[in-house]
């Protein structure tokens, strides 16, 4: 993987404007990793994908991040300052392609969710989306050696599968434990590198194009003179 040039960043931004967040992530990585096929990038676990996006973000805008969140209780505004290293959890060793859970007579074999799975989740409802992800990631489920469908598995087993997925791919689930200084409310805030990086790229691209437009107006440049 390599850093992107200004021209490439603008091309990614133009392409990503009409894309879903998942496809924006893949567009960024496909330009940064020209030797890796798009299918292979799309089949990286979400944690592996996000680890690459964190590196790319560091090479593009530096290692320092600032995020603003509102307290869900009183609405107070909190500014979070942190570094890429603070939230980087991925190990160099890729997670296994198939994981298994043995519990209470059940044997469940599954894989980690990837960008294809997320892109195919067709709903904004978090519970249904999780069900759809599990459906796609389930390899095999047995109870006392008899095949079981996802719908037949008890909630406790499904919760254990989700927990094992999170443990095996921790970079996919970055959360901050926060306490509001105004009302002392404590909660966990999810950090999503895809939306964070895209928002930064969007602000950067709009500002750059505005500056180029102003300079072009002042100096009488034409579009064909551009050397970005």
- Residues near Zn ion (CB under 5 A) are 71, 73-74, 76, 180, 182-183, 185
What is the 3-state composition of the chain as percent helix, strand, coil, each rounded to the nearest 5? 50, 20, 30
How far is Cα 52 from Cα 32, in angstroms, rounded to an integer?
9
Q: State the nearest-atom distance from the C-beta of 188 to Zn ion, in Å.
A: 14
Q: Report the sign of the C-alpha dihedral through residues 46, 48, 53, 58, in that order.
A: positive
Nearer to Zn ion, 14 or 76 (CB): 76
Could you tell me the smallest distance in angstroms from the CB atom of residue 185 to Zn ion?
Answer: 5
Nearer to Zn ion, 5 or 179 (CB): 179
Element (H, E) at 11: helix 6-16
Residue 180 beta carbon to Zn ion: minimum distance, rounded to whole angstroms: 3
Closest contact distance (angstroms) between CB of 190 and Zn ion is 18
Q: Where are the alpha helices (DSSP H) in 62-192?
A: 84-87, 115-120, 126-137, 155-168
**Minimum Å distance from CB 189 to Zn ion?**
12
CA distance 92 to 101: 24
Query: What Cα–Cα distance (Å) separates residue 218 from each residue in 178, 204, 211, 212, 222?
Result: 48, 21, 11, 10, 11
Tokens of 23: 């496809």
């Amino acid at each position: 993987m390599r850093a992107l040039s200004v021209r490439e960043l603008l091309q990614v931004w133009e392409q990503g404007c009409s894309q879903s967040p998942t496809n924006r992530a893949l567009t960024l990585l496909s330009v940064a990793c020209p030797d890796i096929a798009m299918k292979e990038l799309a089949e990286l676990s979400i944690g592996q994908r996000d680890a690459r996006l964190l590196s790319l973000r560091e090479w593009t805008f530096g290692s320092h991040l600032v995020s603003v969140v509102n307290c869900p209780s009183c609405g107070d505004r909190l500014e979070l300052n942190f570094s890429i290293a603070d939230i980087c959890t991925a190990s160099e060793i890729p997670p296994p392609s198939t994981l298994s859970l043995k519990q209470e007579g059940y044997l469940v074999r599954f894989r980690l969710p990837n960008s294809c799975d997320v892109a195919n989740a067709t709903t904004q409802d978090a519970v249904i989306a999780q069900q759809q992800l599990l459906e796609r990631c389930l390899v095999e489920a047995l109870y006392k050696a008899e095949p079981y469908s996802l719908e037949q598995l008890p909630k406790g087993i499904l919760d254990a599968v989700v927990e094992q997925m999170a443990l095996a791919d921790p970079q996919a689930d970055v959360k901050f434990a926060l306490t509001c200084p105004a009302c002392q409310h404590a909660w966990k805030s999810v950090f999503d590198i895809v939306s964070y990086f895209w928002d930064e790229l969007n602000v950067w691209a709009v500002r750059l194009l505005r500056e180029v437009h102003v300079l072009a107006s002042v100096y009488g440049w034409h579009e064909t003179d551009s050397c970005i």
